[in-house]
């Protein structure tokens, strides 16, 4: 019989900038508070979260061979091979790899994390120009579905809406699998250096997307306090989702592209990527905020709280 442990989650507060309907995407108009109610549930001992462990870090400071191979700075030794005309150079943090958006990409030697359990992946990215269609920053493919894809999705009105960063996660590696998507639209432009991090809590089945160290929470205006939003066309948005199922992929991580069919690739990233991390386990919001500072010379270890 498994040991039962009583867990009580209290006082968790998520705060981020609120955008009221009708304002531009660059207008910060306040801080929203989403207070999480008390949760009391029984879990098995093997469900208790373990501290995160660094499973990979690619700094793109050096590369050698043909094709180029850039080392993994973690103890895993999971080197990344760069294909096409991908070249290393300067990045936001230490080094960076430049991809042309046509056929450049990188592939790790092995999948860095168990995508069926809790994990965290983060990276810095900068597009050369605003993409006109969806492009993939990174992905972990399966045989018939991708375990996850992190991509940028442009908007129809780029002058007032910068678009969305998006995580797509499939529940199983089957053609008819449910695919959950989480979006985040609180940033200035994909042509600015942007820190993107996804956190999947396998025990809580919760998927979160951070951009520049923040979760997104957009609440529609209700100025008269009648419980009905003032603009009926407004939609509340949050950059997390619950009840998200995932599957374990055995295929290596792809940098700068994603599967677009059973045997085809596309959505190549047009720009530079810097300081890619992979952790088994969930980083806290404070640890994500620390990574989003983009400090050169950060040691390859689980970051402390910010």
230-252 pLDDT per residue, tens? 777 677 789 999 999 999 999 99
Element (H, E) at 285: helix 285-291
Residues of the domain holding 103: 52-291
User: Would residue 178 count as lying in a domain?
Assistant: yes
- Contact predicate 124/194, CB 8 Å: yes
User: Would residue 14 count as lying in a domain?
Assistant: no
- Give SS3 for 286: helix
DSSP track, 183-240: EE--SS-TTS-EEEEEEEETTTTEEEEEETTB--EE----TT-SSS-S-TT---EESE
What residues contact 18, with CB distance under 8 A and at least 6 apart?
29, 30, 31, 32, 217, 218, 219
Give the domain CATH number at 73. Answer: 2.60.120.200
* Residue 294 confidence (pLDDT): 95
* The total number of structural domains that make up the chain: 1
User: Would residue 268 count as lying in a domain?
Assistant: yes
Q: How many Å separate Cα 136 from the centre of its chain?
A: 11
Report the predicted TM-score, pTM, of the whole model to 2 decimal places.
0.81
Going by C-alpha positions, the residue among 252, 301, 304, 281 that lies closest to residue 74 is 301
150-195 pLDDT per residue, tens? 999 999 998 889 999 999 999 999 999 999 999 999 999 999 999 9
């Amino acid at each position: 019989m498994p040991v039962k442990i009583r867990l009580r989650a209290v006082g968790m507060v998520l705060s981020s900038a609120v955008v009221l309907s009708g304002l531009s995407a660059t207008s910060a108009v306040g801080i929203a508070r989403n207070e999480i109610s008390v949760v009391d549930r029984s879990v098995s001992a093997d469900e208790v979260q373990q501290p995160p462990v660094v499973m990979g870090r690619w700094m793109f400071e050096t590369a050698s061979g043909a094709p180029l191979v850039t080392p993994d700075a973690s103890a895993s030794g999971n080197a990344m091979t760069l294909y096409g005309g991908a070249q290393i150079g300067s990045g936001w943090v230490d080094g960076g790899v430049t991809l042309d958006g046509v056929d450049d990409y990188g592939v790790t030697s092995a999948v860095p994390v168990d995508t069926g359990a809790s994990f965290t992946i983060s990276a810095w990215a900068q597009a050369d120009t605003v993409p006109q269609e969806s492009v993939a920053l990174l992905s972990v493919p399966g045989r018939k579905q991708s375990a996850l894809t992190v991509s940028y999705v442009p908007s129809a009105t780029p002058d007032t809406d910068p678009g969305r960063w998006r995580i797509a996660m499939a529940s199983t590696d089957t053609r008819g699998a449910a695919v959950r998507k989480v979006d985040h639209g609180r940033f200035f432009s994909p042509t600015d250096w942007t820190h993107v991090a996804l956190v999947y809590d396998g025990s809580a089945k919760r998927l979160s997307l951070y951009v520049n160290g923040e979760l997104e929470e957009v609440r529609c205006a209700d100025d008269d306090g009648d419980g009905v939003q003032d603009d009926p066309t407004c939609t509340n948005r949050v950059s997390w989702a619950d009840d998200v199922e995932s599957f374990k992929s055995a295929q290596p991580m792809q940098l700068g592209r994603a599967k677009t069919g059973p045997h085809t690739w596309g959505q190549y990233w047009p720009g530079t990527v810097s300081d890619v991390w992979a952790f088994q386990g969930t980083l806290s919001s404070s640890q994500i905020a620390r990574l989003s500072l983009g400090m050169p010379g950060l040691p390859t270890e689980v970051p402390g709280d910010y």
